[in-house]
Structure formats: structure tokens, C-alpha cells
A and B are shown apart, each in its own frame.
Chain A
Amino acid sequence: MHFQDLLLKLQAFWRARGCVIEQPFDLEVGAGTFHPATFFGVLGPRPWNVAYVQPSRRPTDGRYGDNPIRMQFYYQFQVILKPSPDDVQDLYLESLEDLGLDLSRHDVRFEKDDWKSPTLGASGLGWQVVLDGLEISQFTYFQQMGGLELDPISCELTYGTERIAMVLQGVETVWELRWNDAFTYGDLRLQAEREGCAYNFERADVPTLLQLFEIHEKESKRLLREGLVYPAYEHCVKCSHLFNVLDARRAISTTERERFIQRIQDLAQGCAQLYLNSTRQREQEQEQEPEPERVPAR
């Protein structure tokens, strides 16, 4: 199966199970969890099922394209099921079979992995799913997001699409993956990967990044005060990515690290709180408005 078909197939699978098929978030993020469709979607009581591809950046994971399975940029496939269905593990395994994996030939395991994202103030319990020794998914029952206890509980499924494709295509490195008949993953991504690594590890200008961090933090705080949830969150996400690059650049010492994380977490928590308050307010307003007379349209 071509890499592009795998992405399409996952979308089709989850669309058939009632998910909204969203599009990627248009900012640099470390994982699909940062997408507002997840970050905000799991808050509050409203049921919400969504799936989307999310290009993700993890600057410290870069290996200049030399490592067969590690890179600083890749395509996550993210599914949120809220509330989490009772047969969610079976659903997930079905999705793998749908991709053409014969589960009886492979070794599929759910290995304990308690997931935490300190920057998002998020945590959950679950597993990493391991396929023939290779971690291919993260499977998490979210308990907290933005520092808030969740109710109902959402289940997050995050597929490492390249790794699943590697098993399906039987190739040795991610770069050899066939994207379609004409192109490999390497054709599309290798140069960007190498240059991304050079930037993250060597060239990123630390003073500039630090300055940018301050600017976005300030913006996020201001927007929170002014009650604009989404824009405030976007600047918070910017801070998170800048922090990741600074980290790859080894520009942050251990304690500073904690403090940076805390600063981002404060923004994220502010956003989560503001989001809940504003949706609650909106719902109350809607309840108070008298139902308008509805004339069925013909």
C-alpha cells in the first residue's frame, strides 16, 4: 500500500465510524494533540468524534535523515473518540486490519505508557501499541487537559503512519517508503529533514528564538485577557514549538527547562479555562433566548 493510500484509508475507516474528518492544524506542533480539534474538543460534555492527519515536529528526534525510523518531522494520524466507546481497543485493531495487516502473523502488543504533556497540562493512561517490536501508536484515555479533569473521558488514538507503512511495505528505512508509484517518502522529505536538523541543532538563532518566545507569550496573555480563546491558544502553540527548538539547540538548562514548561502550561490552562467559560456562557445564553417559532422549510 502506498503511503498516501494509507492516510486516505485511515480517514475512510474513521469517517465510516462517524468521525468528523478534520484537516491539519496550520501551525507547527509536536503532536496531533495540539490541534484545537483535540485540545478544545475533549473539554466539556459535548460528544465529539474527529480524525485527521497532523504533520508534527519534534526537533530533538532529528537524525539528519540517517536513522531508519527517527525524524524530526512526520505525519501523525489522530483520532479522538468522546466519550470513549467500550470496544475502542477492538475498533483500533480493526483499523489496522483494514489497512491490510494480518494480525495473526504479526506481534501486536499494548505496552504500558502513561502519557503526559506537561506543556498542555494534559495526562492520561494507556499504552503504546507495538507492532513486531516497533512502536506504531499511542493509545490514551485522557484524564486531564489544560489542567482540567475531563468528563466524559476521551480516547486518543495516534498512529505513527510512516512506521505502519514500513511494516506493510516491508522496507528497511522510512526514506524508502513508496509515497505513490512515482515518488518515495525520501523524494518528498529527505532534503527538508536534513535541513530541518541543521536548523534545529546548529543554525537556529538562540537570541531570536528567545525573543520570539517572549513576544508570543506576551501576545497569548494579552489575548487571554481580552477573551479571544483561539488566537491566545495559537500563540501558546507557537511558544511550545519555539521551546522545542531551543531545547534541541541545547540552549535551555535543566531548571530553566522546568520554568519554560510552566510558562507554556500556564498559557494552555488559561486557554482551556477560558474556552470552557465561554462555551458555558454561550450555552446559557442560548437557553435563555426564547425558542424562535420555526416554520418548516418546504
Chain B
Amino acid sequence: MRRDLLLEIGTEEVPPLEAPRLAAQLKAAAEELLREARVEFEAAAVYHTPRRLALLVKGVAEEQRETVEEVRGPSQRVAFDADGKPTPAAIGFAKRQGVAVHELVVKETPNGPYVFAVKRTPGRPTLELLPELLPRMIQRLSPSETMRWDDSGLRFIRPIRWLLALFGEEPVEFRYGRLVARPRTRGHRFLGRREIEVRSVPEYFEALKRNGVVLDPVERRGRIERALETISQKIKAHPARDDALLDEITNNLEHPTPVLGSFPEEFLALPREILEATIVEHQKFVPFAVGEKAAPHFVGFRDGPEDRDGTVRRGYERVVRARLWDSKFFFEVDRKEPLAARVPRLKTVIFQERLGTIWDKVERMRRWGQALAEKLSLSNEECRAVDRTIYLSKADLLTAMVGEFPDLEGVVGGIYARLDGEPEPVWRGVYEHYRPKGAGDPLPESTTGTIASLADKLDTVVGSLLLGEEPTGSRDPFGLRRKANGVIRIAIDKALDLDFYELIRELEGLYAFLKDRRPLERVEAFFHDRLGLELRDDYRLPYDVVEAVLAVRDGNFYRAWRRAQSLKRLRDREEFQQLVVAFSRVANILKGQQVPHGFSPQHFQEEAERELWRAYLKAEGHIQKLLPQGDYDAVLEKLLTLKDPIDRYFDEVLVMAPDPLLRQNRLGFLSKLKALFLTVGDLSKLVVEKDAKTKTQTKS
């Protein structure tokens, strides 16, 4: 016999981003705790609305699995006499273990046959366990922020107001804070009854449906999408696609019902981005467009029944008008002077206390931009566009629009620059220069935007790190991690073949005015860490490959990625695995040695030495030609030619020769050999299959 388990946590409105997270945590907690308690179940599912988290575990066993414990007693020889009768030793043991003497069993052990007591503890009924398990499930939830609401000491994202728990048709009673779980739920605030008695798990789902709650977020999302579809056919316009917005609407309502509204066409004169931001950011309504042009419609989703008499629509429209009116007001105020006229006033806006004003920042960004443009060999015309882009990039911080919609920074500047008649590369560059704002955000498309974005991020990251403002734990007020990740992603995805550490060293002078500067080493170490994380998490490269690549500190992020790609491609080939082993021998013998600079091939004594030297020269010649193009696959192929000579070398040559001169000469050569491998990475960090290792090792 199996039953379904239901737990409902009734809350006051949980913020939309939080509900799905908490639901996922509830599922994980339930699965883990049931498993720990040895309660079998078929499957767990969770649902959420702003006012409830519901857990449904299907097919839960009536009882815990029994436990079987075997306790060793005396040896068979001691336990039974010659007639096979139990001795007092056996009888005493059985008694102590609480089993009957005839239940004792004899089992073979490494020390001979022994007597065992097999103790079976039957599982407790699940219904008895649940009052302990369910509160622990709730306790395991960890919201992103917590509050108190009464004197129970409980903390949660918003107050928990009721708890319902059913095991099949049986209510599970437990206490949590000041609450007692009861077989009672609540309906939709305005569509259902306040309190509903629930007698079974199926009845719960029925009751919610009848009382206006669409419990399953997938179903709500479906309703929302279908409603938008129907409306877009009706008004011949398409909704502006925005998954984050639709998710938020889905998570925010128990009973989504569309309300179509319109606004006066005069507001269509506003730039589309501003128009949509006004409707989306403030109202969470879905804007519409026809082709590339905004349409004077929006859809809001109300939490409740159909808006038959238009009360809600009129309300929505009034607010949208007022909001658009405000945006228009900001727009007109902003347009009274060109963007460029604002730039000098950036001298009054502080960027970061010790790093000076935004104006100072822009001046530094221009230097970064210039250096980047030179390294990327841009034309004179492009260089001028980059400089103009950067010059204008921050001016929108002084606009009323960005004051109102901080997320539109850059976008507003780009729009205003376009309206001011700036050339396309310039306004596009300004428009895109905050990208990427986070993981998954698109990169700038224009060259100007790319360089302005790099200049912006590099200035903030380098300047802050030189000040010692390193992020710690969850504290990263300047978003340095995100910005460094942005630099790395741009470098890799745009194939920027340049050494960022070199660039940073060249421009360190820009920060000479800072007192108590941290060493530049800290900046490189920071980027190096970020590079590792990016390669692993965003570019999905195996851990050991990333380790191998990072062992060589290289500010050319694009090349680091290329090197990793090549290593990943080749690492599973058997001969390559053997090369890894061969290289590891080189690396190991050099470990902890004072390695001299230079060596002399004339002092080679063994044939194996000379053979490896010749192989080295040949490979090195090729590799030097391959490196500029970054063809690391080919470099690795050339390194493969060294595998056999290395193996032979280690078989025949005593590197640690008693003669110090000879020893030094050999170590010097091996160190040079190692350096050639390091142009791709430290191969000894790669995890190879065991037999690859033993195969070569048995040879030696």
C-alpha cells in the first residue's frame, strides 16, 4: 500500500523571483529527508503561487524500510557444545541481543565460524515520522533574504500563515513556530473561500481549482502565452518577447487573466526602448509592436476574474498614460541640450571616491580605448569613432531618463546620440557599451561598442583592484567579477588576439595618482581566477584542461581558450595520454631543482640525449612558426614527436648524474624542453587513464 503525501506552505505574497527557487529547494529537501528516513516513494513534484508552496510526493510507503543489523557473538566452537547444544555463552549472548537462541545463525568469517544475532527492526509507520520530517523540510528552505514577523523566532522571505499536510486521507499534525498544521487551505483572495476543509490529496487539487487558484506555474504560463497569442491576432500586433517578464507575471499571480489596454498614439513619438521600459519596468505589462515599430497597446494580467465592466482596464490605462506622460516629460527635458553638452558636467559626478569623477574615468577610458585600438590595428577613422564613443558614453548618467530607468544606461545615451546626429558607429557604440551586463547577456556587436565596453570594464576593475577593493564572499559592490567576466567573454568570443596583462602593465601609469596602490600582480591574479571560472562554467571545459592551461599565466584570454580547446580535443587519444606521462616525468624531475639558465649540447654524452635534442630542434622550429597563428592542434601534434625520444631519454640517461656539471647541463636542457610544452599548457595537470601511466612506467 502506498499513499500520496501533500504539504502546503501558505504564505503572504512571496516575491516572483523567489517562489520557483524555494519550490525547487522544497523538492530537494523532501527527497533527501525521505531517503534519509528510509521512506520509499515514487516521485516528488512541487508547485508554487505567490501565496503557497505545495509539495506532492507520489506513492509514499506506509512504513520505513526495516533495518537489519547483524551482531557478532562468540565463535561457533564456544557457542555450541559437542552435541550442538547452545552453551551458556550463546544463551547469554542471545538474551543480551534480545533474540531467541534458536534464531542465532552461524556465519563464516575470516577468523572462522561465528555466531550472529540478526536483529530486524521493523520500520515505523510513515505517518508517525512525518510530524518530524515535515518541519525539517520547511527548515531547509533558504530564501535570499529573510524577515521576522512574530515572536516565534521563525525567519522566512515573507510570513508563513498556514500549513496543510495530508498523508493520503489522513491529516498530519505538526507544529512549526506558532502554527499548527491542519487539513485546511485557503482559496484565491478574491475568487475563493477563505478557508477550505480538505480531506484527501485529490480533494486538495480539486478545491484549489474550484476556488480560483491555478496551482501549477506551467499551466499559468500556458494561459498567459495563449492569451497573448489570441490578443495579438485580434489587434494584429505581436507582443514584445520578454521571457523574464512573462516569468515574473507567471510567478506573481494565482489566477492570471489578461486585460488589453491602449494608450494615446502621441506617445509613440517616444523612442521604442523608452516606451517599452516605461510599460515593462513600472507596470509589468506586455508591450506590443507591429514589425519594428511600437504599437499603442499593452496587456496587463490581473489576478482575478475577467474584467467585464472595464474597471481594471480603465485603471491600467490611466496609470500607463501617467507613466508615459512622465517619460515624455523626461525625454523633452533631456532633449533640450545635446548629449555632448553634458559631458563636461561629468566633472561633478563622483565615480568612486578615490578614483575621481566620471569625467576622470572617461578620460582614462579614452586612453584604454586608444591603446586597444592600436593593438587591434584599427583604421584612423575607426580610432576617431572609438574615441568619440567613449567621450559620450557616460553623458546619459546626467539625463532624467537614466535617473528614472537606471537599467537603460547606455541605451538612453545611444538613442540621444542618434537623435543628435552622431554617426552610426558612435551611437551604436554608446548604446551597447554596457554589454554584457551579466552571464548570458549579449556582447556588443559594433567595434566601437566592443572597445568602449572593454575600456569601461578594465578601468573599473583595474582601478578598484589597485585600490585593494577586492570582492569578498558575496560582497562585490562594483560588480568587479561580472565586469572581469565580461572582458574575458568579449576577448574570447571576438577572437581578440591580445595580451591583456601586457596592456594593463602599459596603462598602469593611469593610476599612478592613487596612494597605497596594491601591486599589479593582484590584478593579474584576479583575472586569472576569473579566466579559470569562465573557461569551466561558461565555456564548459573540463577541470583538468583548465588547470593545465592556467598553469601558464597568460593575459591572452582568447589564446588560453584556444589552448584549452586543443587540449580537450586531443586529450583522449591514447598516444597523447602517453605524451602526458612522458611530460610529467620531465616536470617531476625538474620539481624543486635549481635549474640553471642555459646548457650546452656539446656536453651531451648519451645518444638518447642527442636524439632528444635533435627531435627538440625539429619540433621547436615548426612550433615557432605555428604559434603566431595559434594553431595549437598542430603544435600538440609536433610535441607528440617528442614522446618516444623522451621515453628513451629517461630509460637511458641518468639525469641526476653525480658530476654536477653534467647534471646541470641535463637539467638545463630539460627545462628548455619543458618551456616548449608550456606554450600550450602544463600537460602534467591533465588527468589520464591509469593504464596509460602504467604502460609507460613499466617500460622504464
Whether B304 and A253, one on each chain, are in contact in the complex, defined by CB atoms closer than 8 angstroms, is: no
Do A254 and B349 form a contact, CB below 8 Å, given A66-B329, A84-B149? yes
**A residues less than 8 Å from B159 (CB atoms):** 86, 141
Q: How far is the CB of A205 from chain B (nearest CB, A)?
A: 19
**B residues less than 8 Å from A133 (CB atoms):** 283, 285, 300, 312, 315-316, 318-320
Which residues of chain A from 107 to 126 have any CB-CB distance to chain B below 8 Å in the complex?
107-112, 114, 124-125
A214 contacts B by Cβ under 8 Å: no
A134 contacts B by Cβ under 8 Å: yes
**A residues less than 8 Å from B285 (CB atoms):** 133
**A residues less than 8 Å from B50 (CB atoms):** 110
A132 contacts B by Cβ under 8 Å: yes
B629 contacts A by Cβ under 8 Å: no
Do A255 and B350 form a contact, CB below 8 Å, given A67-B326, A104-B305, A133-B315? yes
Checking A106, A112, A170 against B312 with a beta-carbon cut-off of 8 angstroms, the contacting residue is A106
Whether B149 and A134, one on each chain, are in contact in the complex, defined by CB atoms closer than 8 angstroms, is: no
Checking B161, B190, B307, B318 against A172 with a beta-carbon cut-off of 8 angstroms, the contacting residue is B318
B657 contacts A by Cβ under 8 Å: no
B206 contacts A by Cβ under 8 Å: no
A221 contacts B by Cβ under 8 Å: no
Do A141 and B147 form a contact, CB below 8 Å, given A125-B158, A132-B311? yes
**A residues less than 8 Å from B329 (CB atoms):** 63, 66-67
Write out, one digit per residue, whether chain B residues 150-185 have a CB within 8 A of any chain A CB (1) or not (0): 110000011101000000000000000000000000
A242 contacts B by Cβ under 8 Å: no
Checking B252, B320, B348 against A111 with a beta-carbon cut-off of 8 angstroms, the contacting residue is B252
**A residues less than 8 Å from B131 (CB atoms):** none
Q: How far is the CB of B215 from chain A (nearest CB, A)?
A: 18
Whether A68 and B315, one on each chain, are in contact in the complex, defined by CB atoms closer than 8 angstroms, is: no
Classify chain A: how many residues form its interface, as a range: 35 or more
Q: How far is the CB of B531 from chain A (nearest CB, A)?
A: 32
Which residues of chain A from 163 to 198 have any CB-CB distance to chain B below 8 Å in the complex?
167, 170, 172
Q: How far is the CB of A21 from chain B (nearest CB, A)?
A: 25
Whether A153 and B149, one on each chain, are in contact in the complex, defined by CB atoms closer than 8 angstroms, is: yes
**B residues less than 8 Å from A212 (CB atoms):** none
Q: How far is the CB of B179 from chain A (nearest CB, A)?
A: 9
A160 contacts B by Cβ under 8 Å: no
Whether B326 and A70, one on each chain, are in contact in the complex, defined by CB atoms closer than 8 angstroms, is: yes
Give bound CA distance, A170 to B50, whole Å. 29
Write out, one digit per residue, whether chain B residues 72-114 have a CB within 8 A of any chain A CB (1) or not (0): 0000000000000000000000000000000000000000000
Do A153 and B318 form a contact, CB below 8 Å, given A86-B161, A109-B303, A255-B353? no
**A residues less than 8 Å from B157 (CB atoms):** 125
B10-18, B219-227, B495-503, B580-588: which lies at the A interface? B10-18
**A residues less than 8 Å from B252 (CB atoms):** 109, 111
Give bound CA distance, A131 to B307, whole Å. 14
Do A141 and B149 form a contact, CB below 8 Å, given A106-B315, A110-B13? yes
Most buried by B among A86, A125, A141: A125
Which residues of chain B from 272 to 297 have any CB-CB distance to chain A below 8 Å in the complex?
283, 285
Give bound CA distance, A114 to B147, whole Å. 11
**B residues less than 8 Å from A253 (CB atoms):** 348-350
Checking A69, A110, A132, A151 against B322 with a beta-carbon cut-off of 8 angstroms, the contacting residue is A69
Whether B190 and A68, one on each chain, are in contact in the complex, defined by CB atoms closer than 8 angstroms, is: no
A152 contacts B by Cβ under 8 Å: yes
Give bound CA distance, A89 to B321, whole Å. 29
B309 contacts A by Cβ under 8 Å: yes
Give bound CA distance, A105 to B259, whole Å. 13
Do A68 and B147 form a contact, CB below 8 Å, given A133-B300, A254-B349, A256-B350? no
A103 contacts B by Cβ under 8 Å: yes
Give bound CA distance, A239 to B190, whole Å. 44
Write out, one digit per residue, whether chain B residues 593-635 have a CB within 8 A of any chain A CB (1) or not (0): 0000000000000000000000000000000000000000000
29 A-B pairs with CB atoms under 8 Å apart are A63-B329, A66-B329, A67-B329, A68-B321, A70-B322, A84-B150, A103-B189, A103-B190, A104-B190, A104-B304, A105-B311, A106-B311, A107-B312, A108-B189, A109-B303, A110-B12, A111-B252, A125-B158, A131-B315, A132-B318, A132-B319, A133-B283, A134-B315, A134-B318, A141-B148, A143-B147, A143-B148, A167-B315, A254-B349
Q: Which 8 residue pairs across A and B have the least CB separation, nearest first?
A: A132-B315, A255-B350, A112-B15, A107-B302, A110-B13, A133-B319, A125-B147, A133-B316
In the complex, given contacts A112-B16, A153-B147, A153-B148, what are 4 additional A-B residue pairs having Cβ atoms less than 8 angstroms apart? A114-B145, A125-B158, A132-B314, A255-B350
**Chain B positions near chain A (C-beta within 8 angstroms):** 12-13, 15-16, 50, 145, 147-151, 157-159, 161, 189-191, 252-253, 259, 283, 285, 300, 302-305, 307, 309, 311-312, 314-316, 318-322, 325-326, 329, 348-350, 353
